Chain A
Amino acid sequence: MSLAVDLASWLLLGAGSIFCVIGGVGLIRMPDFYTRVHAASVTDTLGAGLILAGLMLQAGLTLVCVKLVMIGLLIFFTSPTATHALTRAALTRGLEPVLAEEGRPPSKRS
């Protein structure tokens, strides 16, 4: 039983680590601000959620688990809010997204 819980916890921690690194690589390699936001959200949702779930399995049903749930809820609600505010601020400032060239009209905003 304990071995199974440890194994599941390790799997969750490993998957969360991989998704965090994927988000970081996307943050470097994406061509545009809006696509970079998309890449960073991978770190904020899947990476954080999986790592926190793995830590919860290690903690068991204690106060530590409650604190981990609080951290998860905090990231779950504040990260999309911050991303939304960031993207709206960028659109308001007139930052143009990079679009495909062939036969597409340019962005509606000027």
Chain B
Amino acid sequence: MFETAAAALLVTLALALTRAALGPTVFDRAQAVNTVGTIAVLLLAVIGFLGGRPEFLDLAIVYGFLNVVGTIAVLKYFRFGSLGDTGEEETR
């Protein structure tokens, strides 16, 4: 049964990657990458159970944190044009 769940997650991963490649706006691509991160977390958990090594769950936790930080960073970049304070308030 873990194989079925892993296969379904891989199908979802392919669909999300298709949207990331097609997406007309950058927000579509960011949403697709966010979905890819969630699917990666679930796939790591399922593969850990599939191989009988639940230590993969630690990797899944780390990947979840990296996913949300990456999404927020990309959003900030595309909303403000830079990742940090440039020190120029008026000339933007």
| Residues of A bordering B, CB below 8 Å | 9-10, 13-14, 16-18, 20-21, 23-25, 27-28, 33, 36-37, 40, 43-44, 47-48, 51-52, 54-55, 58-59, 64, 67-68, 70-71, 74-75, 78-79, 81-83, 85-86, 89-90, 92-93, 95
Contact = CB atoms under 8 A, between A and B. Distances in A.
B27 A74 contact: no
Given A44-B38, A79-B38, A51 B46 contact: yes
The 4 A-B residue pairs whose C-beta atoms are closest, nearest first, are: A24-B15, A17-B8, A24-B12, A78-B68
A41 B16 CA distance: 13
Interface of B: 1-2, 4-5, 7-9, 11-16, 18-19, 25, 27-28, 30-32, 34-35, 38-39, 41-42, 45-46, 49, 54, 57-58, 60-61, 64-65, 67-68, 71-72, 75, 78-79
Contact of B12 (A13, A20, A86, A90): A20
Contacts of A25: 15
Contact of A85 (B5, B7, B75): B75
A92 B42 CA distance: 32
A17 B78 CA distance: 33
A71 B44 CA distance: 11
A83 B9 contact: no
A93 B58 contact: no
